[in-house]
Amino acid sequence: MTTSLSSPRLPAPPLYERIKGALREGILSGQYAPASLLPSEAAMCAQFGASRITVRQALADLQNEGLIFRRHGKGTFVSLPKAFQNVTALQGFAEAMSAHGHAIRNRVLRLGTVPAPTDVAQALQLAPGAPVAELHRVRLLDQSPVSFEVTWLPEALGNIVARADLATRDVFLVLEQDAGVALGHATLAIDAALADHATAAALDTGAGAPLLRVERLTHDAHGTPIDFERLYFRGDAFQYRLRLDRQVAAASQSILPLQDTV
C-alpha cells in the first residue's frame, strides 16, 4: 500500500501584507500611474475589509520602500521615478539635471549677510563671526520641490552671487562666469536625516519625512574653500549615484598612513 504525502499548508500572509502586495502590483504594473492619487484610507478599508490601522501599516511599508509618498491634507501619491545625480564630476544641481532633460527652477527664501557660525567659519577658513553670505533656496525639479539648500560664501563672493538671477542659475555657474573663479574640487559627506517643520514646509512633505542630507565644501582651483553647503533632498524623489573602481580603492588604501596601535 502506498501513502501519498502532501506538503504542509502554509498559513495565509497577514492582511496588511496582502494589501501591500496588491498595491505594489498596481503601482509596478502601471495601474496607478506616477504622481497619481491612491484611493483614500477609508476606501481601502472598504475594499479590503480591513481596519484603518492595518491599511496604514501597509502604506507605511510602501512608503519606506519609496513607492509612495504622503502630503499632509492631500492624500497618498505614487512616487515619481527618482531623479539622480552622478557624483563623479563637480556639477551644480541644475547643470546635472538639465542634462537629463529635467526643468529646474529655484525659489529663493533668504539671502543676506550674517556672522559666520563656528562650523561655517571653520569650513571656509575664516575667523569666527566673519561676515558671510547666507543663501536659502528650494530647488524645484519639474515644478516639484526636491531639495532645500543652505549655502554660505565669503562676503566678497556673496556680493557677486547676490546680483545674479538665482531663480534660474546655479551658484557654481555664477562663481565661474560672473566672479571668474576656477572651481577645483569638493568634499561631500552624505547621511540620512528627518525633516523638521521648516524643512518639511519648504519641501511640501510631512515633518519627520526621510531626507538625504549632503554637506558639501567646494574649493577653487588653488585649494581655497569658497562655498559651504547643506543640502536636504526628499528621500522619495532623489538619489546620488557614483561608480567605484576596485583599482582606485586599492591604490588609495596603499598610501594610507599607518596608525599606532595601543
Domain ranges of the chain: 15-78, 83-246
In terms of average pLDDT, the best of 20-24, 114-118, 209-213 is 114-118
Percent of the chain with pLDDT over 90: 47
Tell me the pLDDT of the chain averaged across its residues. Answer: 82
Q: Which of 148, 173, 153, 68 is nearest to 113 (CA)?
A: 153
Instruction: Give the three-class secondary structure for 91.
Output: coil
The CATH class for the domain spanning 15-78 reads mainly alpha
User: For the whole prediction, is pTM greater than 0.75?
Assistant: no
Least confident of 5-14, 26-35, 116-125: 5-14
pLDDT for the residue 243 = 65
Q: State phi, psi for 152 to the nearest 5 degrees.
A: -120, 135
The CATH architecture to which 83-246 belongs is 3-Layer(aba) Sandwich (3.40)
Residue 16 burial (CB < 10 Å; 0-12/13-18/19+)? buried
Question: How confident is the model over 88-131, as pLDDT tens digits?
Answer: 666 666 565 555 555 678 899 999 999 999 999 999 999 999 99
Residue 221, pLDDT above cutoff 50: yes
Percent of the chain with pLDDT over 70: 78
Question: How confident is the model over 225-249, as pLDDT tens digits?
Answer: 999 999 998 877 666 666 667 775 5
Instruction: Measure the N-to-C terminal CA separation of the chain; round to a whole number of Å.
Output: 73
Cell of 53: 490601522
